[in-house]
Structure 1
Amino acid sequence: MPIPEKLFLSHASADRPFVNKLATFLGTRKIPFWYSKRHVVGAQQWHDEIGKALKRCDWFLVVISPAAVRSKWVKRELMYALNEDRYENRIIPLFYKPCDTEALSWTLASLQRVDFSKNFDQSCQELIKIWRRS
Protein backbone atom coordinates (compact mmCIF):
# COMPACT_ATOMS: atom_id res chain seq x y z
CA MET A 1 0.00 0.00 0.00
CA PRO A 2 1.25 3.49 -0.74
CA ILE A 3 2.12 5.86 2.07
CA PRO A 4 -0.61 8.47 2.58
CA GLU A 5 -0.11 11.86 1.02
CA LYS A 6 -2.67 13.05 3.58
CA LEU A 7 -5.12 11.06 5.62
CA PHE A 8 -8.48 12.16 6.95
CA LEU A 9 -9.12 11.27 10.58
CA SER A 10 -12.84 10.88 11.28
CA HIS A 11 -13.93 10.69 14.92
CA ALA A 12 -16.60 11.66 17.40
CA SER A 13 -15.74 14.65 19.58
CA ALA A 14 -16.10 12.46 22.70
CA ASP A 15 -13.09 10.44 21.48
CA ARG A 16 -10.82 13.47 21.17
CA PRO A 17 -8.34 12.40 23.92
CA PHE A 18 -7.63 9.18 21.98
CA VAL A 19 -7.47 11.06 18.67
CA ASN A 20 -5.01 13.59 20.12
CA LYS A 21 -2.75 10.73 21.19
CA LEU A 22 -3.04 9.15 17.73
CA ALA A 23 -2.34 12.51 16.06
CA THR A 24 0.83 12.87 18.15
CA PHE A 25 1.97 9.43 17.01
CA LEU A 26 1.23 10.18 13.33
CA GLY A 27 3.12 13.45 13.64
CA THR A 28 6.21 11.75 15.06
CA ARG A 29 6.14 9.37 12.07
CA LYS A 30 5.75 12.32 9.68
CA ILE A 31 2.49 10.99 8.29
CA PRO A 32 0.43 13.97 7.13
CA PHE A 33 -3.14 14.02 8.37
CA TRP A 34 -6.17 16.24 8.72
CA TYR A 35 -8.58 16.34 11.61
CA SER A 36 -11.02 18.95 12.78
CA LYS A 37 -9.38 19.99 16.07
CA ARG A 38 -6.14 20.98 14.38
CA HIS A 39 -7.45 22.28 11.09
CA VAL A 40 -10.74 24.05 11.74
CA VAL A 41 -10.15 27.46 13.27
CA GLY A 42 -12.60 29.61 15.20
CA ALA A 43 -15.44 30.93 13.08
CA GLN A 44 -14.60 28.98 9.93
CA GLN A 45 -17.48 27.16 8.31
CA TRP A 46 -16.44 23.81 9.78
CA HIS A 47 -18.67 21.72 7.52
CA ASP A 48 -17.10 23.39 4.45
CA GLU A 49 -13.62 22.74 5.83
CA ILE A 50 -14.47 19.08 6.42
CA GLY A 51 -15.76 18.78 2.86
CA LYS A 52 -12.62 20.34 1.42
CA ALA A 53 -10.43 18.03 3.50
CA LEU A 54 -12.35 14.96 2.36
CA LYS A 55 -11.71 15.99 -1.25
CA ARG A 56 -7.97 16.54 -0.63
CA CYS A 57 -7.11 13.47 1.41
CA ASP A 58 -6.20 10.10 -0.08
CA TRP A 59 -6.68 7.86 3.00
CA PHE A 60 -9.55 7.73 5.49
CA LEU A 61 -9.22 6.57 9.09
CA VAL A 62 -12.37 6.31 11.19
CA VAL A 63 -12.23 5.91 14.96
CA ILE A 64 -14.90 3.39 15.97
CA SER A 65 -16.60 3.77 19.35
CA PRO A 66 -20.13 4.05 20.77
CA ALA A 67 -19.88 7.83 20.36
CA ALA A 68 -18.85 7.43 16.70
CA VAL A 69 -21.80 5.13 16.04
CA ARG A 70 -24.13 7.85 17.40
CA SER A 71 -22.44 10.67 15.48
CA LYS A 72 -24.24 11.83 12.35
CA TRP A 73 -21.03 13.54 11.17
CA VAL A 74 -18.88 10.41 11.46
CA LYS A 75 -21.53 8.55 9.47
CA ARG A 76 -21.65 11.31 6.82
CA GLU A 77 -17.87 11.35 6.49
CA LEU A 78 -17.71 7.56 6.24
CA MET A 79 -20.48 7.44 3.64
CA TYR A 80 -18.62 10.05 1.58
CA ALA A 81 -15.41 7.99 1.73
CA LEU A 82 -17.21 4.74 0.85
CA ASN A 83 -18.68 6.40 -2.24
CA GLU A 84 -15.38 7.83 -3.53
CA ASP A 85 -13.30 5.59 -5.82
CA ARG A 86 -10.04 7.15 -4.63
CA TYR A 87 -10.68 5.80 -1.13
CA GLU A 88 -11.06 2.23 -2.45
CA ASN A 89 -8.91 0.01 -0.17
CA ARG A 90 -7.83 3.14 1.71
CA ILE A 91 -10.42 3.21 4.49
CA ILE A 92 -9.19 1.88 7.82
CA PRO A 93 -11.52 1.53 10.81
CA LEU A 94 -9.67 1.99 14.09
CA PHE A 95 -11.57 0.06 16.76
CA TYR A 96 -11.22 2.14 19.91
CA LYS A 97 -14.15 0.96 22.07
CA PRO A 98 -16.52 -2.00 21.58
CA CYS A 99 -19.81 -1.11 19.93
CA ASP A 100 -22.35 -2.16 17.34
CA THR A 101 -20.40 -1.30 14.20
CA GLU A 102 -23.27 -2.26 11.92
CA ALA A 103 -25.18 0.71 13.30
CA LEU A 104 -22.54 2.89 11.60
CA SER A 105 -22.10 0.82 8.43
CA TRP A 106 -22.50 -2.82 7.53
CA THR A 107 -19.39 -2.50 5.32
CA LEU A 108 -16.96 -2.05 8.23
CA ALA A 109 -16.70 -5.80 8.78
CA SER A 110 -15.20 -6.25 5.31
CA LEU A 111 -12.47 -3.60 5.67
CA GLN A 112 -8.93 -4.03 6.93
CA ARG A 113 -8.98 -2.68 10.47
CA VAL A 114 -6.78 -2.05 13.47
CA ASP A 115 -7.93 -2.88 17.00
CA PHE A 116 -6.84 -0.11 19.39
CA SER A 117 -8.93 -1.42 22.29
CA LYS A 118 -6.07 -3.26 24.00
CA ASN A 119 -2.57 -1.95 23.35
CA PHE A 120 -2.09 1.51 21.83
CA ASP A 121 1.60 1.12 20.93
CA GLN A 122 1.17 -2.28 19.26
CA SER A 123 -1.86 -0.99 17.37
CA CYS A 124 0.12 2.01 16.11
CA GLN A 125 2.77 -0.36 14.76
CA GLU A 126 0.08 -2.45 13.08
CA LEU A 127 -1.32 0.68 11.46
CA ILE A 128 2.11 1.70 10.17
CA LYS A 129 2.65 -1.78 8.69
CA ILE A 130 -0.34 -1.22 6.46
CA TRP A 131 1.77 1.40 4.69
CA ARG A 132 4.93 -0.74 4.99
CA ARG A 133 6.70 1.75 7.23
CA SER A 134 8.49 0.70 10.38
Structure 2
Amino acid sequence: MSKPADSLNVLISHVAADEALAHRAAAALRRAGHQVWTGDEIYPGDNWAAKYAEALEQSDAMIPLLSPAALDSERVQSDLAFALGQKRYANRLIPVFTAGADPQSERFPWVLRRFPLVRMTDGADSEEAAFREVTAMLKDSAAGTSEANATLTAKTADAG
Protein backbone atom coordinates (compact mmCIF):
# COMPACT_ATOMS: atom_id res chain seq x y z
CA MET A 1 0.00 0.00 0.00
CA SER A 2 1.49 3.34 -1.03
CA LYS A 3 1.24 6.47 1.04
CA PRO A 4 -0.79 9.47 -0.17
CA ALA A 5 1.08 12.00 -2.33
CA ASP A 6 0.95 14.65 0.40
CA SER A 7 2.18 12.29 3.13
CA LEU A 8 5.73 12.78 4.37
CA ASN A 9 8.11 10.83 6.59
CA VAL A 10 8.65 13.26 9.45
CA LEU A 11 11.34 13.03 12.12
CA ILE A 12 10.63 14.89 15.35
CA SER A 13 13.93 15.91 16.92
CA HIS A 14 13.62 16.43 20.67
CA VAL A 15 15.20 15.81 24.06
CA ALA A 16 13.91 13.30 26.61
CA ALA A 17 12.42 16.10 28.71
CA ASP A 18 10.10 16.94 25.79
CA GLU A 19 8.99 13.38 25.04
CA ALA A 20 5.35 13.94 26.00
CA LEU A 21 5.20 16.99 23.72
CA ALA A 22 6.85 14.98 20.92
CA HIS A 23 4.15 12.31 21.29
CA ARG A 24 1.38 14.90 21.07
CA ALA A 25 3.03 16.44 17.99
CA ALA A 26 3.40 12.98 16.43
CA ALA A 27 -0.28 12.22 17.03
CA ALA A 28 -1.32 15.47 15.32
CA LEU A 29 0.94 14.77 12.34
CA ARG A 30 -0.29 11.18 12.05
CA ARG A 31 -3.90 12.42 12.04
CA ALA A 32 -2.87 14.54 9.05
CA GLY A 33 -1.61 11.40 7.27
CA HIS A 34 2.13 11.66 7.85
CA GLN A 35 4.49 8.88 8.91
CA VAL A 36 6.26 10.06 12.08
CA TRP A 37 9.44 8.95 13.81
CA THR A 38 10.05 10.03 17.41
CA GLY A 39 12.63 7.56 18.66
CA ASP A 40 10.07 5.24 20.25
CA GLU A 41 10.88 2.90 17.39
CA ILE A 42 14.21 1.99 19.02
CA TYR A 43 13.95 -1.07 21.25
CA PRO A 44 16.30 -2.55 23.84
CA GLY A 45 19.12 -4.32 22.04
CA ASP A 46 18.78 -2.20 18.89
CA ASN A 47 21.80 -0.32 17.62
CA TRP A 48 20.61 3.15 18.59
CA ALA A 49 22.99 5.03 16.30
CA ALA A 50 22.16 2.86 13.29
CA LYS A 51 18.40 3.17 13.85
CA TYR A 52 18.64 6.93 14.28
CA ALA A 53 20.80 7.31 11.18
CA GLU A 54 18.27 5.23 9.21
CA ALA A 55 15.43 7.46 10.42
CA LEU A 56 17.35 10.57 9.37
CA GLU A 57 18.05 9.11 5.94
CA GLN A 58 14.43 8.05 5.38
CA SER A 59 12.80 11.25 6.59
CA ASP A 60 11.45 13.90 4.24
CA ALA A 61 10.96 16.54 6.90
CA MET A 62 12.20 17.45 10.36
CA ILE A 63 10.36 19.14 13.18
CA PRO A 64 12.85 20.09 15.90
CA LEU A 65 11.10 20.83 19.19
CA LEU A 66 13.25 23.64 20.53
CA SER A 67 12.79 23.92 24.26
CA PRO A 68 15.37 25.53 26.53
CA ALA A 69 16.79 22.01 27.17
CA ALA A 70 16.87 21.18 23.45
CA LEU A 71 18.88 24.28 22.67
CA ASP A 72 21.63 22.81 24.88
CA SER A 73 21.40 19.33 23.33
CA GLU A 74 24.27 18.20 21.12
CA ARG A 75 21.99 15.68 19.39
CA VAL A 76 19.35 18.26 18.52
CA GLN A 77 22.10 20.59 17.28
CA SER A 78 23.52 17.72 15.17
CA ASP A 79 20.05 16.99 13.77
CA LEU A 80 19.70 20.63 12.76
CA ALA A 81 23.13 20.63 11.11
CA PHE A 82 22.22 17.46 9.21
CA ALA A 83 18.89 18.90 8.03
CA LEU A 84 20.50 22.14 6.89
CA GLY A 85 22.83 20.15 4.63
CA GLN A 86 20.09 18.13 2.95
CA LYS A 87 18.27 19.42 -0.15
CA ARG A 88 15.31 17.15 0.56
CA TYR A 89 14.57 19.22 3.66
CA ALA A 90 14.04 22.40 1.64
CA ASN A 91 10.87 23.98 3.08
CA ARG A 92 10.57 20.96 5.36
CA LEU A 93 12.68 21.98 8.33
CA ILE A 94 10.18 23.59 10.66
CA PRO A 95 11.58 24.66 14.04
CA VAL A 96 8.99 24.74 16.81
CA PHE A 97 9.87 26.88 19.82
CA THR A 98 8.25 25.73 23.02
CA ALA A 99 7.33 27.98 25.92
CA GLY A 100 10.43 29.54 27.42
CA ALA A 101 12.66 29.08 24.36
CA ASP A 102 13.93 32.28 22.78
CA PRO A 103 14.67 32.31 19.02
CA GLN A 104 17.01 35.25 19.62
CA SER A 105 19.12 33.24 22.04
CA GLU A 106 22.78 32.82 21.14
CA ARG A 107 22.26 29.08 21.65
CA PHE A 108 19.92 28.99 18.67
CA PRO A 109 21.64 28.49 15.29
CA TRP A 110 21.45 31.92 13.65
CA VAL A 111 20.76 30.52 10.16
CA LEU A 112 17.39 29.14 11.30
CA ARG A 113 16.17 32.68 11.91
CA ARG A 114 15.61 32.77 8.14
CA PHE A 115 13.16 29.87 8.39
CA PRO A 116 9.49 30.13 9.24
CA LEU A 117 9.37 29.60 12.99
CA VAL A 118 6.45 28.17 14.90
CA ARG A 119 6.08 29.48 18.44
CA MET A 120 4.24 27.75 21.21
CA THR A 121 3.30 29.33 24.52
CA ASP A 122 1.99 27.56 27.60
CA GLY A 123 -1.37 25.89 27.18
CA ALA A 124 -3.17 23.32 25.08
CA ASP A 125 -4.69 25.93 22.74
CA SER A 126 -1.25 27.23 21.77
CA GLU A 127 0.01 23.70 21.33
CA GLU A 128 -2.86 22.71 19.03
CA ALA A 129 -2.48 25.93 17.03
CA ALA A 130 1.24 25.22 16.61
CA PHE A 131 0.55 21.66 15.46
CA ARG A 132 -2.04 22.93 12.95
CA GLU A 133 0.50 25.44 11.64
CA VAL A 134 3.17 22.75 11.23
CA THR A 135 0.69 20.42 9.52
CA ALA A 136 -0.34 23.18 7.08
CA MET A 137 3.30 23.97 6.29
CA LEU A 138 4.06 20.30 5.62
CA LYS A 139 0.96 20.00 3.44
CA ASP A 140 2.02 23.01 1.37
CA SER A 141 5.53 21.59 1.04
CA ALA A 142 4.29 18.14 0.01
CA ALA A 143 1.83 19.66 -2.48
CA GLY A 144 4.67 21.65 -4.03
CA THR A 145 6.72 18.48 -4.43
CA SER A 146 3.78 16.62 -5.95
CA GLU A 147 3.26 19.44 -8.44
CA ALA A 148 6.97 19.50 -9.28
CA ASN A 149 6.99 15.72 -9.78
CA ALA A 150 3.92 15.93 -12.04
CA THR A 151 5.58 18.67 -14.11
CA LEU A 152 8.78 16.63 -14.39
CA THR A 153 6.79 13.54 -15.43
CA ALA A 154 4.92 15.56 -18.08
CA LYS A 155 8.15 17.06 -19.42
CA THR A 156 9.77 13.62 -19.55
CA ALA A 157 6.75 12.20 -21.40
CA ASP A 158 6.83 15.11 -23.91
CA ALA A 159 10.55 14.59 -24.52
CA GLY A 160 10.12 10.85 -25.15
Q: TM-score, normalised by structure 2?
A: 0.74
Mapped partners of 1:29, 1:112: distance in 2: 20
Q: Secondary structure, in 3 states, of the residue corresponding to 2:62?
A: strand
Shift of 1:27: 2.1
Equivalent residue for 1:18, pick from 11, 14, 21: 21
Residue of structure 2 equivalent to 1:77:
79
> Percent identity over the alignment?
25
Q: Assess if the C-alpha contact under 8 Å between 1:4 and 1:58 holds in 2.
A: no
In the other structure, the counterpart of 2:129 is 122
Aligned equivalents of 2:85, 2:14: Cα separation in 1: 18
Could you tell me which amino acid in structure 2 is paired with residue 40 of structure 1? Answer: I
Is the contact between residue 4 and residue 59 of structure 1 (CA under 8 Å) also seen in structure 2? no
Q: 1:105 to 1:3 in 2, by over 3 A?
A: farther
Matching of residue 88 in structure 1 with residue 90 in structure 2: yes
- CA gap of 1:100–1:121, structure 2 versus 1, over 3 A, is closer
Question: 2:34 is matched with which residue?
Answer: 31
**What's the offset of the Cα at 1:47?**
1.5
Number of positions where the alignment pairs a residue of Structure 1 with one of Structure 2: 131
2:66·2:95 contact (CA, 8 Å) conserved in 1? yes
Measured against aligned partners, the alpha-carbon deviations of 1:42-83 in whole angstroms (never above 9, x if no partner) come to 121111111111111111110011110111111111111111
Q: 1:98 to 1:108 in 2, by over 3 A?
A: farther
- Deviation for aligned residue 1:97: 2.5
RMSD: 1.9
Q: In structure 2, what is the equivalent of residue 55 of structure 1?
A: 57
Tell whether the 8 Å contact from 2:39 to 2:52 is kept in structure 1 after alignment: yes
Quick one: which amino acid aligns to residue 112 of structure 1? Answer: P
Question: Structure 1 residue 103: deviation in Å?
Answer: 1.0
Larger Rg over CA atoms? 2
